[in-house]
Amino acid sequence: MTKNWHLYEVFIRSKNGLAHKHAGSVHAQDAETAVLSARDLYTRRGEASSLWIMKSADIIASDPGEVGELFDPADDKIYRHPTFYTVPDGVKNM
């Protein structure tokens, strides 16, 4: 891998109305080739109707060392889960 290649993250939307989901990453020299490579690597079997690409370096991530203070307080608050509803039969993408 030469120094000219950057790492990009690939997000795929499978169909209109759904959200883009992280699919993986590709190496590329620039935005244009990143789109082409992502198309070749992640949409070969009809997975996508749209692609988002971003430089991995641009991701701002939470600190793994702060997992406790960030996420643990949500563990014991079951009343925040929407489990007290019944979902009508016809609804597909909840």
The SS3 call for residue 78 is helix
Asked if 48 touches other proteins (CB under 8 A), the answer is no
Q: Which is nearer to other proteins, 32 or 71 (CB)?
A: 32
Q: Residue 16, class by beta-carbon neighbours within 10 Å (0-12 exposed, 13-18 middle, 19+ buried)?
A: exposed
Token pair 């590329």: residue: 28
Under the binding rule (CB under 8 A), the answer on residue 54 touching other proteins is no
Least Å distance, CB 41 to other proteins, is 5
Please tell me whether residue 28 binds other proteins under the rule CB under 8 A.
yes
| Minimum distance from residue 27 beta carbon to other proteins (Å) | 6
> The tokens 């992640």 sit on which residue?
42
Strand partners, 52: 11
Binding footprint of other proteins on the chain (CB under 8 A): 1, 5, 26-29, 32-33, 36-37, 39-41, 44
